[in-house]
Amino acid sequence: MCNPVLKHLIPAVKLGDLELKNRIIMAPLTRSRAGEGDVPTPLVAEYYWQRAGAGLIITEASQISPQAKGYPRTPGIFSQQQINGWRTVTDAVHSRDGKIFLQLWHVGRLSHPDVQPGGVLPVAPSALAAEGEIFTSAGLKPLVTPQALTEEGIRDIIRDFRKAAENAREAGFDGVEIHAANGYLIDQFLRDGSNKRTDKWGGSAENRVRFLKEIVASVVPVFGAGRTGVRLSPVFDGFSMSDSNPAATFGVAAEMLSRFSLAYLHVMQLGSEAESFDFTALKTQFGGAYIANGGYSADSAAQAIAEGHADAVSFGTLFLANPDLVSRFASSAPLNEADKTTFYQGEDKGYTDYPVLSGVPQGGEGQWHWMGLTDSQNATGKSNKGEK
């Protein structure tokens, strides 16, 4: 009997201009391991190197500017030091024939003066605070009421997205994903629960989609449409996010995005209204390659692809705990369990120390620890070959 995982998840797929070796995508995962200056370290490079068996790695969200930051020790892509740090990561992934996109991020109102330049208020489409607390270097603090963006401020952020994409290209990435999901700035513009503007950036769904549209139009020329993706989360309801008609709002967004011929649309399908939302219709409205995300197993992912609900599936926590997830799926091997206490802290613990199957590259002392390509064998040796 044919193994559905081997039949539907392991085969290569083309997304935009990319030929991927399989349909198993590593979802973006905030890990808070960046070094001083929010620079990716050699440990970050090893983490991604270990997971280069994925058809595509989408990195953790990375702030496009100092203003875009929301949490301690998240990486940026606005300084030369950050570009250099990311170059070490992309070199590491490419040494195993992997593909890697950088996720571009602005958190909007989900920030705090403690991490903002000059201690100013964070920005958002409207001066509405989200409920809850945010983790800062001084511990948990209540989210604050942001300042509503001016027209000039909006234009500055659109330019910041473009510059961040240019920096990602300099850092050696294969493309970029625009983070328009999970209650962050672009999502705040999309939803009428967080966007109460009365100018051309608010009101109708077409106006609320304008911010995303102009960011995409600004970013696409950097890598080309075939190497640019967008992530949405139509039913995400964390951080006080809501919309009066998500089907209509995100339908307008998907149809708008379809006109760019993007590499893919990446959709997080988790939320309290997930069962009633028609994700298949969203896929049809977009019309291009669709990456599904949200609690999938190997079997359910294979089924989604077999039934035409997705072209590829992304995995978050499973990739966190299983660097060799592709090999484990292919061989039906047991999966490691994730240690939630180390998701956002622990340095190498819960980060690069998860066990892998015999014969799979794992890095570390005695095999290879990514400290830069100073030895030609490290760049070309057998231990760096990708999973088959």
pLDDT digits (tens, 9 = 90+) for 116-164: 999 999 999 999 999 999 888 788 999 999 999 999 999 999 999 999 9
CB 223 within 8 A of CB 175: yes
Distance separating alpha carbons of residues 108 and 129, to the nearest angstrom: 11
Tell me whether residue 111 is in a domain. yes
Strand partners, 364: 368
Which three-class secondary structure state does DSSP give residue 55?
A: coil
Q: What is the pLDDT of the chain when averaged over all its residues?
A: 92
Residue in this structure with the two tokens 């996010």, named with its chain if needed = 241
Distance separating alpha carbons of residues 327 and 165, to the nearest angstrom: 32
Tell me whether residue 364 is in a domain. no
Give the amino acid at 320.
L
DSSP designation for 288: S
Please report the pLDDT score of residue 43 as a whole number.
98
- Which residues form the catalytic set? 184
Distance separating alpha carbons of residues 168 and 174, to the nearest angstrom: 9
Domain hosting residue 240, numbered range: 4-342
Give the chain's radius of gyration (CA, Å).
Answer: 20
Which three-class secondary structure state does DSSP give residue 263?
A: coil
How many CB atoms are closer than 10 A to CB 7?
12
CB 163 within 8 A of CB 170: no
Tell me whether residue 314 is in a domain. yes
Q: What is the pLDDT of residues 259-304, one digit of tens each?
A: 999 999 999 999 989 999 999 999 999 999 999 999 999 999 999 9
The number of folded domains in the chain is: 1
374: closest CA among 34, 91, 36? 91
Tell me whether residue 371 is in a domain. no
**Residue 241 belongs to domain with CATH number:** 3.20.20.70
Tell me whether residue 146 is in a domain. yes
β-pairing, 264-268 with 228-232? parallel
Tell me whether residue 382 is in a domain. no
386: closest CA among 56, 124, 81, 146? 56
108: closest CA among 31, 201, 173, 16? 201
Q: What is the pLDDT of residues 347-369, one digit of tens each?
A: 999 999 999 998 666 654 334 34
* Token duo for residue 81: 């030091």
Which three-class secondary structure state does DSSP give residue 286?
A: helix
Q: Indicate the pLDDT class of residue 382, thresholds 50, 70 and 90.
A: very low
- pTM of the shown model: 0.93
Tell me whether residue 380 is in a domain. no
CA atoms within 13 A of residue 315's CA, in its CB half-sphere: 29
Distance separating alpha carbons of residues 70 and 32, to the nearest angstrom: 11
How many CB atoms are closer than 10 A to CB 354?
22
CB 178 within 8 A of CB 220: no
Q: Indicate the pLDDT class of residue 371, thresholds 50, 70 and 90.
A: very low
Tell me whether residue 366 is in a domain. no
